[in-house]
Amino acid sequence: MKARLLRLIAFLVLFGGAIRCAAPAPVESYTLARSALEFAKASDASRFASKYFLSAEDYYRKGEAAYKGRDFASAKTFFDSARVQAEKAENLARLKKFKSGEF
């Protein structure tokens, strides 16, 4: 009985690990988020749109942590959120710079 229970537990652990790794690595989302952050930095978003920029950096850090932990589904969600926030930050920074005549 114990051997059967141990085999069942081992199967469930291995099966659970296989399911967790089933999602493909979100390489495209990772790359797009990183590029969006770089463009936001280049547009001086940390100065003109700090709320969106800090939010983007936070999501990006969480995405990297999830990626390193091989939780690819969460990583993709975080990277997508980081990209959206970084794009908002860049657009707002460019708009504010244009309105102030700094462009």
pLDDT at 62: 98
Q: Domain limits of the chain?
A: 24-100
The radius of gyration of the chain's CA atoms, rounded to the nearest angstrom, is 20
| CATH 3.40.50 assigned to 24-100 | no
pLDDT digits (tens, 9 = 90+) for 8-51: 676 666 665 555 556 899 999 999 999 999 999 999 999 999 99
Asked whether 28 and 54 are in contact (CB, 8 A), the reply is no
